[in-house]
Chain A
Amino acid sequence: MVSSKKIRYCLSVAMFISLFLLAGIVPAAMSANASFNIDKMSDMSDFDPNAVQQPTGDTIKIGYMAILSGPGASNGELFWPVINWVAHDINKRGGIVVDGKKKLIQIIKGDTQSKPAAAKQEAERLILEEKVHMFWGTSGSHIAKVLSDVAAKYKVPFMNCLALSDELMNEKNFNRYTFQTISNTTQWNMALAQYYADRPEKNFYILCQDYLYGHSMGTAFAKWLAVYKPDAKIVGEDYHELFLKDFAPFLTKIMAARPDVLYTADWSPDGNNLLRTARNMGFSQPIANIYITDTDTQKALGVEATKNLVVCYPFIIGDNPQTPAQKKLMTEWHKRWLTWKAPFNKLIYSWPDVTIGQTLADTYWMFDIIERAASTDAEKIISVWEGDEYEGLTGMHKMRAEDHQAIFPMFVGATGYPTKEVYPGAPYADGFSGINKVTTIPAEKCTPPIPEGLKDRLKNK
């Protein structure tokens, strides 16, 4: 029989442990400078990406730098509802107080064409003629580099929420005006390599696009795989031209090398073309990727062809726990999507998953920074954003002060079968294989080292 003394002792220990945990957890939870508050979200029932009314006059002008023409134009279309969703939400709340005055948000398009010269010209036009206060973008690290340089030259903050290369924020290329909210190459590949560390696959083939980003990703994957899975073997490594016409010759090489996993960082249209050619040629091995997430293509390919896709991203819907804010936002978005007309009625827009979800979360963070800075002045924005901790849709996001690289957890999801009930009554992957099993890689396990030359950057500040 247990004595009352023992019970009291146990209770005391339990209380002590609880207090100890609370002492650690509560301040940690409260340490975020701000958080996304879903309850503040406006009634979005009138939001239509096809009929966005941009306010004019004395507004907060955001330059939407995206590929709006040429082979990569689908990228520009993809994020148009995202940035306008957030702007619409905030504008319906009355806008943001900056410099003592409440102002609405105006989104101004800038077409990078995925060409450095065009991107530079367009960015300068937006600054000099349109007087934008901040840049939002952009697909392609080679373009992000150009924008980053323009941002520094004209002292206009730039949120890079789409381009990943480590080189963008290293000692050589870093500038105070650029903030990278998307994970960089190292974060991505640390997460993916750790995912494979405990799995049986050993032979990997790397196929990426032949430019800065593709090479960064391929090299980083090989490097981190060697760290976390020393017995892994790279059985082949190729880099193909952007917007490749025919993947069949590469796939013949890949199939001959007999990898367990094909790794690719290709974005659209290359990623989709690779997937469909691979499956049409009978290559059924897993394809570890970032951007093969176009649900319209996946639905057309069907359940079998879309199995064995391994997606690594900072934002994934699957069997992972989702915050109430995330659930509410996603449900609201989906509800609105049901009313959207072409081209936004496509399946890819149906849920704010992966790239849409991540950029949505990042855009809310960006406007939260402007709100807290209470100014569009670059120096004030920098002072708020550097070192900021923001409880975003998927957890804590920290903007590392030294190199302006955001740190957060990563997710690796694998497709397996159609998932019809991510949210009750709302099919997610109906007719194709959705992401079912999600592995979370905590932020501390995928934190990239601070570039050597930037470690002491703020010491004298």
Chain B
Amino acid sequence: MKIPPSDRGTIMEGTAFILLTQGIHGISYGLVLFLAASGLSMIFGLMDILNLSHAYLFMLAAYFAFSIAQVTNFWVALLLAPLAIACIGMLLERYLIKPVHPFGHTPELVLTLGIGMVLLEVVKSIWGTTMLTVMPPESLQGFIPIGYLKYPVYRIFIIVFTIIILCGLHQLFRRTRFGTIVRAATVNSDMVSALGINVPRIYTLFFGFGTWLAGLAGVVVAPLLSVHPGLADQVGLDAFVVVVLGGLGSLWGAFVASILIGLLNTYGIQLIPTVAPLITFSLMVLVLTVKPTGLFGDRQ
């Protein structure tokens, strides 16, 4: 079936093309969620810390991206902002979270939520509460023709970038010594420690790595959404849903759950818009009812 291009420069015609476009939207948004949620999931999986400040670090990264991009460019922001967030994450873990961790989840949750609130106030006092805009770099502006579709380059970049990160994570945990140690520490940290490995240092590094991923997500999302203090609430809740749905601590679970949520969201908007916002949470309730550990998790 030959579909003529639109006379308005938009070339989306026919249900199949609309559904295809919605599918790509779903994947790109899902992958943003994955970036935001993966660090959270991994930190919980290895360290048993449910870090409620994760979403606020994500927000802080978006602000860093704004400021760095203003004096340099987006690419420098993509490099530096996550590193800065990782440093902050490591300091938080070393000096605040680690001393509280032995007392269990409740003090930890209160502490990390408190850290989040402090970060929020810091952001408001430095950047204010009005919306800030980060533009994609010029090379990522414009559209890519996909058949009769034209799709924003930046959203394609998100898909490619996140897949590279996912592959990198896979390689890191399966093919490197650091990954081997981390996986071993997940199973039996005492044994790893007995082998002469400084497990607390590994934990700090790993926490920093998890927050680095939150930083990446913050920078990547900045050209998509306005940067404002509500960003943490806006995306943070979905990130938590991803972690719970995918299974606490499961990276692949987070990946599958992110894509699932992204697709359900976009197709929900296309087909049943009035109930679209409920789909994500309904799915979470359904999955947790049938499998309380989440899709790929083994811990409640």
Do the two chains belong together in a single complex? Answer: yes
Residues of A whose CB lies within 8 Å of any CB of B are: 68-74, 76-78, 210, 238-241, 243, 245-246, 248-250, 252-253, 255-256, 258, 268-269, 272-273, 276-277, 280-285, 294, 296-297, 300-301, 342-344, 346, 348
CB contacts under 8 Å to A, within B229-259, are 229-231, 233-235, 238
In the bound complex, how far is the Cα of B125 from the Cα of A77, in angstroms? 11
B:1-47 near A, CB below 8 Å: 6, 8-10, 12-13, 18, 21-22, 25-26, 28-29
Given A76, A250, A252, which contacts B129 in the complex, CB threshold below 8 Å? A76
**A283 to chain B: closest residue by CB:** B10
Does B73 belong to the interface (CB within 8 Å)? no
Interface residue ranges of B83-107 to A (CB < 8 Å): none
A-B contact count (CB 8 A): 137
| Chain B residues, CB < 8 A from A210 | 277
Q: Which one, B18, B25, B124, B225, contacts A273 given CB within 8 A?
A: B225
Contact A294 B130 (CB under 8 A): yes
A348 contacts B130, CB within 8 Å?
Answer: yes
- Residue among B29, B136, B152 making CB contact with A245, cutoff 8 Å: B29
Q: How far is the CA of A252 from the CA of B21 in the complex (A)?
A: 7
With a 10 A CB-CB cut-off, give which of B9, B131, B238 has the most chain A CB atoms: B131
Q: Which of B6, B29, B150, B277 contacts A241 (CB 8 A)?
A: B277
Whole-angstrom distance from the CB of A174 to the nearest CB of chain B? 30
A-B contact pairs, 8 of them (CB 8 A): A73-B124, A239-B274, A241-B277, A243-B230, A249-B270, A269-B234, A276-B226, A300-B135
Q: A269–B266 contact, CB under 8 A?
A: no
Q: Which one, B29, B126, B234, contacts A248 given CB within 8 A?
A: B29
Q: In the complex the two chains form, is A280's CB within 8 Å of B154's CB?
A: yes
Do A250 and B128 have beta carbons less than 8 Å apart? Answer: no
Minimal beta-carbon separation of A1 from chain B (angstroms): 64
Contact B132 A296 (CB under 8 A): yes
Whether A276 contacts B129 by the Cβ 8 Å rule is: no
Interchain CA distance A253-B273 in the complex, whole Å: 11
A343 touches B129 (CB 8 A): yes
User: Is A297's CB under 8 angstroms from B131's CB?
Assistant: yes
Our pick among B12, B131, B276 for the contact of A269 (Cβ within 8 Å) is: B131
* Inter-chain contact A268/B25, CB cutoff 8 Å: no
**How many Å from the CB of B280 to the closest CB on chain A?**
11
Closest Cβ–Cβ distance, residue B96 to chain A (whole Å): 23
Q: Which residues of B contact A285 (CB under 8 A)?
A: 8
Give min CB distance, A307 to chain B, whole Å. 14
Task: Enumerate the 6 nearest inter-chain pairs by beta-carbon distance, A residue then B residue, closest first.
Answer: A343-B128, A71-B230, A300-B133, A249-B269, A73-B129, A249-B266
**Is residue B161 within 8 Å, beta carbon to beta carbon, of the partner chain?**
no
Q: Is the CB of B230 within 8 A of A73?
A: yes
Question: What is the CB-to-nearest-CB distance from B134 to chain A, in angstroms, rounded to a whole number?
Answer: 8
- B148 contacts chain A at the CB level, 8 A cutoff: no
Are A72 and B230 CB-contacts (below 8 A) given A248-B155, A283-B10, A294-B130?
yes
Are B152 and A280 in contact (CB-based, < 8 A)? Answer: yes
| CB <8 Å contact, B228 and A252 | no
Given contacts A249-B22, A282-B143, A285-B8, contact A71 B13 (CB under 8 A): no
- Judged by a CB distance under 8 angstroms, whether B53 is at the interface is no
CB distance from A169 to the nearest CB of B (A): 28
Smallest CB separation, A84 vs chain B (Å): 15
B12 contacts A78, C-beta separation under 8 Å: no
Apart from A71-B233, A241-B277, A301-B133, what 4 extra A-B contacts exist at CB < 8 Å?
A70-B230, A239-B274, A240-B269, A252-B22
Q: Name the residue of chain B whose CB is nearest to the CB of A207.
A: B273
Contacts of A272 in B (CB 8 A): 131, 133, 226
B25 touches A258 (CB 8 A): no
Residues of A within 8 A of B12 (CB): 252, 255-256
B265 engages A246 (CB within 8 Å): yes
Q: List, in ascending order, chain B residues with CB within 8 A of A258's CB.
A: 6, 8, 10
Indicate whether A256 sits within 8 Å of B25 (C-beta atoms), given known contacts A245-B234, A280-B152.
no
> A281 — nearest CB in chain B belongs to which residue?
B152
B131, A268: Cβ atoms closer than 8 Å: yes
* Contact (Cβ within 8 A) A296 B131: yes
Q: Give chain A residues whose Cβ lies under 8 Å from the Cβ of B285.
A: none
In the bound complex, what is the Cα–Cα distance between A210 and B269 (angstroms)? 13
- B25 and A249 within 8 A (CB): yes
Rounded to whole angstroms, the CA-CA distance of A298 and B126 in the bound complex is 22
The answer to whether the Cβ of B224 comes within 8 Å of any Cβ in the partner chain is yes
Closest chain A residue, CB of each to CB of B10? A255
Chain A residue, CB-CB nearest to B149: A252
Task: Give every chain B residue within 8 A of A297 (Cβ-Cβ).
Answer: 131, 133, 226
Docked Cα-Cα span, A72 to B141, in Å, equals: 28
Question: Which of A73, A246, A256, A284 is close to B228, meaning CB atoms less than 8 Å apart?
Answer: A73
CB atoms of A246 and B29 under 8 A apart:
yes
Contacts of A240 in B (CB 8 A): 269, 273
Are A256 and B18 in contact (CB-based, < 8 A)?
yes
In the complex, chain A residues whose CB is within 8 Å of the CB of B270:
249, 252-253
Q: Given the complex of chains A and B, what is the CA–CA distance between A243 and B236 in angstroms?
A: 12
- Interface contact A77-B131, CB-CB below 8 Å: no
In the bound complex, what is the Cα–Cα distance between A72 and B234 (angstroms)?
10
Query: Which A residues touch B276, using CB under 8 A?
Result: 241
Contacts of B155 in A (CB 8 A): 248
B228 touches A269 (CB 8 A): yes
B131 to A282, Cβ gap below 8 A? no
| Identity of the chain B residue whose Cβ is nearest the Cβ of A50 in the assembled complex | B128
What does the 1/0 interface line of B196-211 toward A look like (CB < 8 Å)? 0000000000000000
Least Cβ–Cβ distance between A80 and chain B, in angstroms: 10
A-side contacts of B8, CB under 8 Å = 258, 284-285
Distance of B279 from chain A, by nearest CB (Å): 11
Within 8 Å CB of B150, what residues of A? Answer: 282
Q: What is the chain B residue whose CB lies nearest that of A114?
A: B230
Of residues A78, A297, A343, which shows the largest number of chain B Cβ atoms within 10 Å of its Cβ?
Answer: A343
Contact residues in B for A268 (Cβ distance below 8 Å): 131, 226
Please determine whether A243 and B128 come into contact, CB atoms closer than 8 angstroms. Answer: no
Which B residues are CB-close (under 8 A) to A348? 130
* A420 vs B154: C-alpha distance when bound (angstroms): 31
Q: Is the CB of A273 within 8 A of B226?
A: yes
Chain A residue with Cβ nearest B66: A300
